[in-house]
A and B are shown apart, each in its own frame.
Chain A
Amino acid sequence: MTPKIIKVALIGNPNVGKTSVFNQLTGLNQQVGNYPGITVDKKTGVCKINQITKAKIIDLPGTYSLNANSIDENVVIELLLNKNDEDFPDVAVVVTEVENLKRNLLLFTQIKDLEIPTLLIINMSDRMKQKGIELDIPFLEQELKTKIALISSRKNIGIDNIKELILNYKQLSTEPCLNASSIDPEYFNRLRKAFPNQLLYKLWLVITQDVNFLNLQRNEIENTFTRSHTELKRLQQKETIKRYQFINDTLKIGQKIDKSKATDFQSKLDNILTHKVFGYLIFFGILLLIFQSIFDWSSIPMDFIDTTFSKLSAFTKENLPQGKFTDLLSDGIIPGIGGIVIFIPQIAFLFLFISVLEESGYMSRVVFLMDKIMRRFGLSGKSIVPLISGTACAIPAIMSARNIENWKERLITILITPFITCSARLPVYAILISLIIPETRFLGFSLQGLTLMGLYLMAFVVAIASAFILNKVLKLKCKSYFVVEMPSYKVPMFKNVALNVLEKTKAFVTGAGKIILAISIVLWFLGSHGPGKDFDNAQEIIETEVYSSNTKINPSVIPDRVAEYKLENSYIGIIGKTIEPAIKPLGYDWKIGIAVVSSFAAREVFVGTLATIYSVGSQSEEEATIKMKMAEDMDSKGNRIFNFATGVSLLLFYAFAMQCVSTLAIVKKETNSWKWPLIQLAFMSGFAYIVALIAYQTLK
C-alpha cells in the first residue's frame, strides 16, 4: 500500500498553545522556511498518524480572525482561500483553549464558513478543574457542527485523539455554523447573484481584505460592490456581533463556569509585577540577569570555542601537506567558522530568556508597564520587545516590531533598533576592550565589564534620543491604536522553549554564517594573491633588504617579514592602503581599514577579518590567538597600532555605524521602500564617523 499524506493546517488565536500542539504532534520533524516574497516564518512538520498515513502539518501564524491586520495574518487567509496552493489543507484544525473559548470560537465560526472540513481542539483541559469550567462536549459538537478533541498539550493528554480525528477527517461536516450574510441580506443577495459559483463568505473576505486570489477577478467585484471604509467596518462589526450572538447562545448551554472557583492568584501576581515600584524593580532585575548571562556565564563556553578553533587551525597547518588548500583551510575557513560558532552561547542565552519571558506571559506585562514612558519618545510599549531582542540581533527584532499597530511608532522602532548593541558587536567589543582597558577592578567591579556595560547604556541612550528626534521630525498622521492581549501567567514549557532556542540559534548561525564564511574565503584569496612583482618576489626583496642593511638582523625574522610584505602588496593590502586617507583621522591603519570595510557586510566579520589578515600575515609555527597578535602589532615608528585612542575610536564607530547588510535588507522589506534603510545608513554611519573622529582627535 502506498503511504497516504493528509495536509493539515493548524489555525488559532495567539496564546492558545497552538505551537505546543504543533510541537507535540511533530516533535523534531519540523522545518522552518519562508513564504515566498515575505519574511513570515513558515513552519511545517510531519506527524505519523498510523502505519500508512502521515500528516503534513503547517503551523499558520496566530490570528484573532480572518480580518487580517498584518502580513502574518494575511498568510492565513491567502492559504485558506486558494484551493490551488500546494499547502491547501485537507482539514483545518482550529486550536482554542478552555479559558478563552468564547473569543477563540469567533475564528472557528469564520473558518467553518469557508466550508473546509474543520476540527476543533480545546487545549489546556488541565486547567478546567481549577477554573471551575465544565464543558458539554457532545452538545458543542452538535452545535458547532464539528468534532472536538479536548486536550492538554502541556500534560500530553489527548494528542492521540487529534491524530485519530485527523485520520477520519472525511467524516467532518463542512456546513457553516451560522448564516452570517443575514447582516445585510439585500447586499449579499446581489453578491450571490453576480457570482453564483463562488462561496459567499469568500467574496466577502475578498471585498474587505487586501488579499490576492487566483480565480477571482478583484476589479470586477470592486467596481460594483465596494463600499466606503467606514461602511465596511460597520458591516464587519455587525458580522462580529452576529457571530458572538451565536457563540454566546451556544456556550450558555455548552459551558458552565463556577465563578467562585476562579482563583485570584493571577491578579495578585499582576498587583506585584505591574506595581509602580516593584514592577520596574523586577523588570530591571530581569534585565540585569539577562546581561549577566550574556557577559559572564557565556564567556566560559566562548573561551573554550576560541582556543579550540586556534588549535584546530594550527593542527591542520602542521598535519596537512603544505599547499593552497591547506592555507585556505587553516587561514580562511577555520578562523571564519570559528568567528560564527563563538556567538552561539550568547545568542542561545538571549533567545532562552526572551522565549521564557514570552511563554510565561510576563512580556505583555512589560509592554503594559512601559507604554506610557515609551510613548514620550514616539515609541510604543510594544517597542520593548524589539529593543530587548535587538541585543541579540536586529533582524528578528525588526520583524517583531510588526505587531505595533501604529505605523509611526513602528517606523521609529524599526529605525532605532539597529543602534541597540547586538551580539555581533560583542566580539568586536570584547577584543577591543581587552586590548585597551586594563584588567583591574574598580569598586569591586571589573573595569572591562563596566566599560562593556557603559557601551550598552550609551547605545540605548542614543537609540532613545534618536527616537525622540524622529518623533519630532516625522510628520505622519496615524491612529494611536494599541491593543495588547494579557495572557494568564503560565510556567513555560521546556519543550517549547528548547525548540524555540534551537530554531532561532540555528537560523542565526546559518544565516550569518553563510555571509561570514563567504567573506572569509574571499578575504583569504585577496590576502594571499597580489597583482604585481612586489607580491611575487617578496622573498627576494626582503632577503636583499635584510642582508644588505648594516644593522644586524636575526635571519629568523625573515619569514614573518616576507609574509607582512606580501600582505601589504596583496589585493587586500592595496584596497586597505587606498582607503587609508579616509580612516587615518579616526586612527585606523590599512589593516583595520580592511576589517571596517568588510564589516559592512556584517559587524562580526571584523574579528574574522583581522583573524584572517593576521593569520595570512604570519608564518610562524605556533598559532597565537588573534588577540595576542593584535596587541603586538606595531606601526613603522614602533607604536602600538591598537592604542587607547584608536581603540576608543573603533569602539564608538562600531557602536553607532550601520554595518549590516542583512538589517538594511530587512528594513527595506518591512518598510516597503529603500528610503528608510538609506536614511538609516547615512544617519548612523555619518554619526559614527563624526563621534569616532572627535574621540580619536581628543584622545591621541
Chain B
Amino acid sequence: MSEYNASILKKGQSAQITDINIDEIPLKLIEMGCLPGNDIELIQIAPMGDPLFFNVNDSKVAIRKKTASAIYINQESIK
C-alpha cells in the first residue's frame, strides 16, 4: 500500500489519481471515472471516519476507507 492514497486526504482536499490497485477497486467505481489522470476530491467524512464521500471525475460517490486506500494519488497535486 502506497503512503499517498485517497484515504489520507482531508475534507475539502483534492488530488490527481496516479494509479489504482485493480484487485481492490470494483469495476463500478472505475466506470464512474475513478481512473489514473482524473481528480479526486474528499467532500465529506462519515461520523465515525468511514466511509468517505468523494467527488471523482464529477461523480459523487461514497466508498469505504479500505477501497480509498487502493486509489493512489500524486503527493504534489494535493490541494
Residues of A within 8 A of B (CB): 64-65, 67, 69, 99-100, 102-103, 106, 230, 233-234, 236-237, 240-241, 244, 267, 270-271, 274-276, 279-280, 364, 367-369, 371-373, 381, 405, 479-488
Q: How far is the CA of A610 from the CA of B24 in the complex (A)?
A: 55
Contact A481 B44, beta carbon cutoff 8 Å: no
Q: How far is the CA of A575 from the CA of B38 in the complex (A)?
A: 69
Q: How far is the CA of A484 from the CA of B28 in the complex (A)?
A: 10
**Given that A237-B22, A274-B44, A372-B48 are contacting pairs, would A483 and B30 also be in contact in the complex, using a CB cutoff of 8 Å?**
no
Contact B49 A233, beta carbon cutoff 8 Å: no
Name A376's closest neighbour in chain B (CB-CB): B48
Query: Could you mark each residue 26-67 of chain B with 1 if its beta carbon is under 8 Å from any beta carbon of chain A, else 0?
Result: 111111110110100001101111110100011111111011
Contact A480 B64, beta carbon cutoff 8 Å: yes
Contact A102 B46, beta carbon cutoff 8 Å: no
**Contact for A364 among B43, B62, B64, CB less than 8 A:** B62
Residues of B within 8 A of A (CB): 22-24, 26-33, 35-36, 38, 43-44, 46-51, 53, 57-64, 66-67
**Given that A230-B22, A236-B27 are contacting pairs, would A369 and B46 also be in contact in the complex, using a CB cutoff of 8 Å?**
yes
**Contact for B33 among A102, A482, A488, CB less than 8 A:** A102
**Given that A270-B44, A369-B47 are contacting pairs, would A483 and B63 also be in contact in the complex, using a CB cutoff of 8 Å?**
yes
- Listed by A's residue number, 21 A-B pairs whose Cβ atoms lie within 8 Å are A69-B26, A100-B58, A102-B57, A102-B59, A103-B31, A241-B35, A267-B44, A270-B53, A274-B47, A276-B48, A280-B47, A368-B44, A368-B51, A368-B62, A369-B47, A372-B49, A480-B66, A482-B62, A483-B61, A484-B51, A485-B61
Chain A residues contacting B30 (CB-CB under 8 Å) are 236-237, 240
Contact B57 A103, beta carbon cutoff 8 Å: yes
**Given that A64-B31, A65-B31 are contacting pairs, would A483 and B46 also be in contact in the complex, using a CB cutoff of 8 Å?**
no
Q: How far is the CA of A240 from the CA of B32 in the complex (A)?
A: 9
Contact B47 A279, beta carbon cutoff 8 Å: yes
Contact B31 A486, beta carbon cutoff 8 Å: no
Name B66's closest neighbour in chain A (CB-CB): A480
Chain A residues contacting B63 (CB-CB under 8 Å) are 482-484
Chain B residues contacting A279 (CB-CB under 8 Å) are 47
Name A485's closest neighbour in chain B (CB-CB): B61
**Given that A69-B27, A102-B57, A234-B22 are contacting pairs, would A372 and B46 also be in contact in the complex, using a CB cutoff of 8 Å?**
yes
Contact B48 A373, beta carbon cutoff 8 Å: yes
**Contact for B62 among A69, A373, A486, CB less than 8 A:** A486
Name B38's closest neighbour in chain A (CB-CB): A244
B33, B43, B46, B53 pick with most chain A CB within 10 angstroms: B46
Q: How many A-B residue pairs have CB under 8 A?
A: 118
A interface: dominant SS: helix
**Contact for B50 among A69, A100, A371, A486, CB less than 8 A:** A371
Chain A residues contacting B23 (CB-CB under 8 Å) are 230
Q: How far is the CA of A299 from the CA of B78 in the complex (A)?
A: 57
Q: How far is the CA of A244 from the CA of B59 in the complex (A)?
A: 13
Q: How far is the CA of A237 from the CA of B30 in the complex (A)?
A: 7
Q: How far is the CA of A65 from the CA of B47 in the complex (A)?
A: 31
Q: How far is the CA of A481 from the CA of B62 in the complex (A)?
A: 11
Chain B residues contacting A369 (CB-CB under 8 Å) are 46-47
| Minimum-distance CB pairs A-B, first 5 | A276-B47, A372-B48, A486-B60, A484-B62, A481-B26
Chain B residues contacting A483 (CB-CB under 8 Å) are 26, 28-29, 32, 61-63, 67
Q: How far is the CA of A46 from the CA of B69 in the complex (A)?
A: 48
Q: How far is the CA of A373 from the CA of B47 in the complex (A)?
A: 10
Contact B43 A233, beta carbon cutoff 8 Å: no
Contact B60 A488, beta carbon cutoff 8 Å: yes
Q: How far is the CA of A585 from the CA of B42 in the complex (A)?
A: 60
Contact B61 A484, beta carbon cutoff 8 Å: yes
Q: How far is the CA of A100 from the CA of B61 in the complex (A)?
A: 12
Contact A482 B60, beta carbon cutoff 8 Å: no
Chain A residues contacting B46 (CB-CB under 8 Å) are 274, 368-369, 371-372
Contact A405 B26, beta carbon cutoff 8 Å: yes
Q: How far is the CA of A230 from the CA of B23 in the complex (A)?
A: 8
Chain B residues contacting A64 (CB-CB under 8 Å) are 28, 31-32
B14 to chain A, nearest CB (A): 13
Chain B residues contacting A405 (CB-CB under 8 Å) are 26, 28
Besides A241-B36, A274-B46, 8 new A-B residue pairs in contact (Cβ under 8 A), listed by A number = A106-B33, A244-B33, A274-B44, A369-B46, A481-B67, A483-B28, A485-B60, A486-B62
**Given that A233-B27, A482-B67 are contacting pairs, would A267 and B22 also be in contact in the complex, using a CB cutoff of 8 Å?**
no
Name B47's closest neighbour in chain A (CB-CB): A276
**Contact for B51 among A241, A271, A372, A488, CB less than 8 A:** A372
Chain B residues contacting A280 (CB-CB under 8 Å) are 47
B35 to chain A, nearest CB (A): 5
**Contact for B35 among A65, A237, A367, A372, CB less than 8 A:** A237
Name A275's closest neighbour in chain B (CB-CB): B47
